[in-house]
Amino acid sequence: MKILLMGNPNVGKSVVFSRLTGVKVLTSNYPGTTVGFTRGHMKLGDQQVEVVDVPGTYTLEPTCKAEEVAAEMLREGDLVVDVVDATNLERNLYLTLQLLERAAPVIVALNIWDDTKHRGINIDVARLEKLLGVPVVPTVGLTGEGMKELVIRIPEASSPAQASRTHEERWAEVGRIVEQVQTISHRHHTWLERLGDASIRPFPGFLIAAGVLLASFLVIRYLGEGIVTYVSEPLFDNYWAPVMMKLSTLLGSHGFIHDVLVGKLIDGQIDFAQSFGILTTGLFISFGIVLPYVFAFYLVLGFLEDLGFLPRLAVLLDNLMHRLGLHGYAIIPTLLGLGCNVPAIMATRILESKRERFIAATLISIAVPCASLQAMILGLVGGYGLQYVAVVYGTLFAVWLVLGFVLNLTVKGFSPELLIEIPPYRLPRLGPSASKLGTRMAVYLREAVPIVFLGIFVVTILYAAGVFDRIASFAAPVVSGIFGLPQDAVSAIVIGFLRKDMAVGMLGTLGLDAHQLVVGTVVLAMFFPCIASFVILARELGVRDMLKATAIMLIVSLAVGGLLNLAL
């Protein structure tokens, strides 16, 4: 049996899904968090059933890619749990009626039930149940309230198989139902609502947004740096280095296996930044430097997501984003890209047109550095002074703007206007927010770390086989002539295809001066996406558009790297 969780965007389907199946999925307070579908299993009586978390949709007549996925999924389901936002009954019931007109049995979860009281909304649940002809269970996904009853009553789900209505008839029916079950009493605005409205007005909205973004950057930087300086570096230097020295001696201080595992000894010692063994530099980059920043980044992003800040930022930046051929909502995939480009490119599904998706995905893969890369930029370039970090970020931001502007003028098609629901601000709850942070860290560890290890293995082999020397002499005119970098830097650029963080780490071993390091990191950031983003680009855009994006990437990184080399 297959149970589908369906409903309007941002009603908490994913939270209910996690409660039912125990499967951790990312949840946030903005419409469009779930763009693909996640499957899980739950026990129903003595039966094991499949549960699918379907992307939110307002109607069964899809208007964007994520909604198409939802409409298609409906054909496969044996039973639908319709998750309804109890604070927006009228709009949510439209989809409910559409579902009732289909053949699948339906049960309604009246979610966000706790908020109805604060909002002065009173819903007669028994009456609603009678009018709809299917079970209705009040739930609070975030706390788990009502979930037991929901599970108990799933077998009662029924299909009244109502006659198909026209659009107007359906709204009229919704109106009749709401009139009979809902009463609203007057109440005063809360401070969160006032803050919500203030942050969507030009004044003081822009000031608030600037403050939030600046504070976010500072928290990420100092928290990340703090963990590196006070936790991970001491741990590696004091406890891991002696173990590695023993291993090194055991392996005879040289040889292929020694170089793969421990790397090269620098002055007879292990240097975690330069040795480049899997167990030394591989572990150190992954856990010692990148992990602290990934943690700090997702801590801050998770807070902003759960609060409901991002859709408001989308409204404030809508004018700017239109110049780049996008609308404001594209800022959400872009911000996700500062964490990792892979989920970011997937999140472009919330954009309506193919043109927008192409522009947004191309800009993300070229000009938006992921958290791993940023950790290395801050760590390595930051060592020479913050002004160099500013040049790197400033260049990438300028590329994002200018390239977006050019793409807007040259890519055919049109970009639609913004049309989004703005969720109310909700104070993030510790449990769900911590669980989301944990999920994201787990994804990083599972998907990024093995590739770093693989990368180091590949580097060692390619060095041993002399492949890098051949590529280096072949690419010398570009690398040395245009970028002003030593020939060896080509190995870092090649490895950038696997992991950018590791590639920047390799630049660190070349003894570059500050200017070369700036050029090198900017080129690395823009030149070719890492293999994971490359695969996702091809999947989301199709091979043709992926090749187009890649061509743009090559041209832009050559041009910008060259210009930067001349300008500095």
Partner 1 sequence: MELSKERTTVARMRAGTTGTVLEIAAGHALSRRLQALGVRPGKKIGKVSSMFGRGPVTIRIDNMEVALGFGMADKIMVELDSK
**Contact residues for partner 1, defined by CB under 8 A:** 58-59, 61, 63, 87-88, 90-91, 94, 119, 121, 167, 171, 196-197, 200-202, 205, 311, 314-316, 318-319, 327-328, 416-422, 424
CB nearer to partner 1: pick between 353 and 480: 353
d(CA 65, CA 345): 13
**Tokens at residue 13, please?**
């389907």
Q: How far is the CB of 198 from partner 1 (least distance, A)?
A: 9
Q: How far is the CB of 129 from partner 1 (least distance, A)?
A: 22
CB nearer to partner 1: pick between 199 and 533: 199
CB nearer to partner 1: pick between 315 and 532: 315
CB nearer to partner 1: pick between 119 and 548: 119
d(CA 132, CA 100): 8
Q: Which of 428, 432, 426 is nearest to 195 (CA)?
A: 426
- Helices within 256-353 (DSSP H only): 256-261, 283, 291-307, 309-316, 318-323, 331-337, 341-347
Residue type, 64: C
Contacts of residue 388, Cβ cutoff 8 Å, sequence gap at least 6: 381, 382, 514, 517, 518
Radius of gyration for the chain, computed over Cα atoms and rounded to the nearest angstrom: 26
Q: How far is the CB of 35 from partner 1 (least distance, A)?
A: 18
Strands 106-111 and 79-85: parallel
Q: How far is the CB of 294 from partner 1 (least distance, A)?
A: 31
Q: How far is the CB of 403 from partner 1 (least distance, A)?
A: 23
Strand order in the sheet with 136-138: 38-44, 47-53, 2-7, 79-85, 106-111, 136-138
Residue 123 DSSP symbol: E
Q: How far is the CB of 401 from partner 1 (least distance, A)?
A: 17
Distance of CA 554 to the CA centre of its chain: 25
CB nearer to partner 1: pick between 115 and 237: 115
Q: How far is the CB of 87 from partner 1 (least distance, A)?
A: 5
Q: How far is the CB of 456 from partner 1 (least distance, A)?
A: 47
Q: Which of 420, 409, 411 is nearest to 356 (CA)?
A: 411
Contact by Cβ (8 Å): 224, 296:
yes
CB nearer to partner 1: pick between 292 and 325: 325
Cis peptide before 204 (omega within 30 of 0): yes
CB nearer to partner 1: pick between 409 and 419: 419
Q: How far is the CB of 12 from partner 1 (least distance, A)?
A: 15
CB nearer to partner 1: pick between 62 and 562: 62
Strands 121-123 and 182-184: antiparallel
Q: How far is the CB of 328 from partner 1 (least distance, A)?
A: 7
CB nearer to partner 1: pick between 96 and 341: 96
CB nearer to partner 1: pick between 86 and 291: 86
Query: Which class for 401: exposed (0-12), middle (13-18), buried (19 or more C-beta within 10 A)?
Result: middle
Contacts of residue 46, Cβ cutoff 8 Å, sequence gap at least 6: none
CB nearer to partner 1: pick between 58 and 293: 58
Helices 167-181 and 125-132 meet at what angle, rounded to 10? 150
CB nearer to partner 1: pick between 172 and 559: 172
Contact by Cβ (8 Å): 4, 50:
no
Q: How far is the CB of 67 from partner 1 (least distance, A)?
A: 10
Q: Which residues pair with 276 in a beta bridge?
A: 263
**Tokens at residue 8, please?**
């309007």
CB nearer to partner 1: pick between 282 and 311: 311
State phi, psi for 261 to the nearest 5 degrees. Answer: -80, -50
d(CA 523, CA 200): 36
CB nearer to partner 1: pick between 171 and 497: 171
d(CA 329, CA 350): 8
d(CA 41, CA 268): 54
Q: How far is the CB of 91 from partner 1 (least distance, A)?
A: 4
385-395 burial code (b ≥16 CB/10 A, e <16): eeebbebbbeb
Q: How far is the CB of 171 from partner 1 (least distance, A)?
A: 7
State phi, psi for 190 to the nearest 5 degrees. Answer: -90, 165
State phi, psi for 3 to the nearest 5 degrees. Answer: -105, 130
Q: How far is the CB of 175 from partner 1 (least distance, A)?
A: 9
CB atoms within 10 A of CB 255: 10
d(CA 42, CA 20): 6
